Amino acid sequence: MTSKRVAIVLGGTLPHITLIEKLKQRGYYTLLIDYYKEPPAKYAADEHICESTLDLEKVLKISSERKADLVISTCIDQANVTASYVAGKLGLPAPYDYDTALSVTNKVKMKDTMKKNGIPTSKYMFVEDIIELDKEEFRFPVIVKPADSNSSKGIAKAENRDELRIVLQKALDISRIRQAIIEEFVQGTEIGIDCYIQGGKVFVLMTKERRKITCLEDEVQQIYGCIWPATLSEEIEEEIQRAANKIAKAFKLDNTPLMIQAIVNENGLNIIEFGARFGGGESFRIIELSTGFDVINAAIDSFLGNTVKMNYKKPQNYYMENFIYAYRGEFAEVTGKNQLMDKQIIEYLDVYKSKGSQIPPEITSNNRIGVFGVKSPDIEGLFTKLNKAIDIIDVIDVNGRSMMRKDIYEC
């Protein structure tokens, strides 16, 4: 046993490496819970327990036995639900209670509340059984998603009723509560918005344009990277602020991060969904590089109930994060990083997978090999650097063969 305060971190994602480091700086003994044997954050933590972060009672038992002072996750929706549940049971600090955590992670409750409070969102319906399709008429195409899944797993687009039956069944199978949402497809530019709510006021920290894979069949809902910040009109920025304020009020959120996904088109702003957390992936890194705002420390203070100093500046450069995907196979390594860093073409390159990881054929956020970032004072410079990087980076399997999917960058 340790004499230090114990912080239990739920989920061994890349951003949680930084979370663990900052918790250690605050004097915590860090215990990571993640069902993978080799998650990225494993070796940053003092200890790793291989259990699912979705198992409420198991995490509660571990937290109680280890006399946890803090149970935290900064960028994983369902892990935040578990953290709120355990905090409520053990009297630990958290930014919101369990009921609120459910309302901002379950897409069924989320959509209903948005509709009731005048938050702009697409038309939708909820389904618990595929038989219900016979009772409804849809304007195709539609988007189908599980009501409660992490990441982009199970999200698909259907162009007709036959396709809808197939993707809906998959979504229902993935959902732990056997519910899915069908919503009208809205054409436009997809953006992400990272905010922090402090003292009842929503501060919009940064926006990004999410770049979708559009040249591969059945995978249009996956992205291969983002451009920070997004290029938006003053009118859209005002709409974002209004919508963010409505979300904070409707869901009774305060002193917490807020991450919003939306579509922008000629009709204005359409909210897809949101989370009471910061965005995953490289959000923590790029927001701090661009604005000076430390999102990981802010997330810790959110859980502890501390006031966060809202000191941040307007971005001076553009950043582009680019995800690395691979064909099916057994992963060994990513090559080219040192050469690209030496030439100052990329700002960083992180690998998510460990050697020997089996890569399935699907392109989802869970199957990303890694990510790299480029920086430029203008958007044209981003693409110049991206093309140079793609020529040099490669993903190698255990047999020495290339397995990187470079075709996705041709979209």
- Looking at the fold, whether 292 and 330 belong to one and the same domain comes out as no
- Looking at the fold, whether 194 and 292 belong to one and the same domain comes out as yes
- Looking at the fold, whether 295 and 389 belong to one and the same domain comes out as no
Structural domain count of the chain: 4
Whole-model pTM? 0.89
For residue 142, the domain's CATH number is 3.30.1490.20
For residue 207, the domain's CATH number is 3.30.470.20
pLDDT computed for residue 311 by the predictor: 94
Rounded Cα distance between 395 and 326, Å, is 7
Rounded Cα distance between 344 and 338, Å, is 10
- Looking at the fold, whether 36 and 131 belong to one and the same domain comes out as no
- Looking at the fold, whether 131 and 82 belong to one and the same domain comes out as no
Give pLDDT tens digits along the chain (411 positions).
Answer: 678 999 999 999 999 999 999 999 999 999 999 999 989 999 999 999 999 999 999 999 999 999 999 999 998 988 999 999 999 999 999 999 999 999 998 888 898 999 999 999 988 888 888 777 766 677 889 989 888 766 567 788 888 888 888 988 988 888 888 888 899 889 999 999 999 999 999 999 999 999 987 655 544 457 889 999 999 999 999 999 999 999 999 999 999 999 999 999 999 999 999 999 998 888 999 999 999 999 999 999 999 999 999 999 999 999 999 999 999 999 999 999 999 999 999 999 999 898 999 999 888 777 889 999 999 999 999 999 999 999 999 999 999 999 999 988 876
- Looking at the fold, whether 299 and 361 belong to one and the same domain comes out as no
Rounded Cα distance between 156 and 218, Å, is 7
For residue 88, the domain's CATH number is 3.40.50.20
- Looking at the fold, whether 199 and 285 belong to one and the same domain comes out as yes
- Looking at the fold, whether 279 and 197 belong to one and the same domain comes out as yes
Q: Running DSSP on this structure, what letter comes out for residue 404?
A: B
The last residue of a domain, from among 184, 208, 235: 184
pLDDT computed for residue 138 by the predictor: 74
pLDDT computed for residue 135 by the predictor: 65
Rounded Cα distance between 29 and 208, Å, is 34
Question: At 308, which amino acid appears?
Answer: V
Tokens of 266: 């000629």
pLDDT computed for residue 101 by the predictor: 95
The last residue of a domain, from among 278, 304, 330: 304
In a domain, 257, yes or no: yes
In a domain, 108, yes or no: no
pLDDT computed for residue 220 by the predictor: 44
In a domain, 117, yes or no: no
- Looking at the fold, whether 232 and 338 belong to one and the same domain comes out as no
Q: Helices (DSSP H) in 233-362: which residue ranges?
A: 234-250, 283-291, 295-304, 337-342
User: Domain residues for 397?
Assistant: 318-410
- Looking at the fold, whether 80 and 135 belong to one and the same domain comes out as no
pLDDT computed for residue 219 by the predictor: 44
pLDDT computed for residue 229 by the predictor: 97
In a domain, 216, yes or no: yes
The last residue of a domain, from among 281, 304, 327: 304
Rg, C-alpha atoms of the chain: 21
- Looking at the fold, whether 197 and 290 belong to one and the same domain comes out as yes
Say if CB 173 and CB 238 are below 8 A apart.
Answer: no
pLDDT computed for residue 221 by the predictor: 59
- Looking at the fold, whether 336 and 274 belong to one and the same domain comes out as no
In a domain, 312, yes or no: no
In a domain, 225, yes or no: yes
The per-residue b/e assignment along 319-329, b for 16 or more CB within 10 angstroms, e otherwise, is bbbbbbbbbeb
